[in-house]
Amino acid sequence: MKEEDVFETRTALQAAPERVLDTARQALLGQGARVKQVSDRELHVVCEWSHMGRSPLVGVTEATLRIVGSDLHLHATLGGIAKVRRFALLLPLGIGGTLTTIFALIWWTPGDQPDAAWAPLVPLVAVAPWLVIAPLMGRALGRTTRKALTNLVESLGSMS
């Protein structure tokens, strides 16, 4: 099993820590995340990829926003990326396997046999591109999630 990605970034704060954390809480709640205030200088965020919809934060499983001195630190676990990649790979392959079984049962029943014995494999060929598409989707989602997290932290840090 592949280890989950971890993303970390930090930025200097220009606003009061309470205001920054309150704005972060509102922004993250608006994206479908569950937010828990651990202390007056720390938020813990949990995201379930199935409930995040089209949020750019769909790749985040957990994150911690912590104010240390005059800096805002973000530590995020990007487990949602692997889940989406796995879903994008297994769903089409499952559909292809099911359709192949159905095609095989139809083709190889007693009676007239078709000339093309390979015909039941057509559904697998139809879903084979997903072997390439799923990893590409995972990489794109990773870039989008990292960019969204970076933008969030930079925006929170530049609040005045």
- 34-39 sheet: strands from edge to edge: 5-12, 71-78, 62-68, 42-46, 34-39
Query: Is the pLDDT assigned to residue 9 strictly greater than 60?
Result: yes
Select the CATH number that applies to the domain covering 5-80+146-153 from these four: 3.20.20.70, 3.30.310.80, 3.40.50.150, 1.10.150.120.
Answer: 3.30.310.80
DSSP, residue by residue, 63-75? EEEEEETTEEEEE
DSSP, residue by residue, 108-158? TSSSPPPS-TTGGGHHHHHHTTHHHHHHHHHHHHHHHHHHHHHHHHHHHHT
Q: 3-class SS at 29?
A: helix
Residue spans of the domains in the chain: they are 5-80+146-153, 82-134
Q: From residue 65, how far is each of 23, 107, 143, 157 by CA, in Å? A: 12, 58, 20, 12
Nearest to 41 by CA among 24, 60, 62: 24
Query: Is the pLDDT assigned to residue 1 strictly greater than 50?
Result: no
Q: What is the pLDDT of residues 23-36, one digit of tens each?
A: 999 999 888 889 99
Confidence grade of residue 112 (pLDDT, cut at 50, 70, 90): low
Query: Is the pLDDT assigned to residue 55 strictly greater than 50?
Result: yes
Q: What is the pLDDT of residues 116-153, one digit of tens each?
A: 777 777 887 888 888 888 888 888 989 999 999 999 99
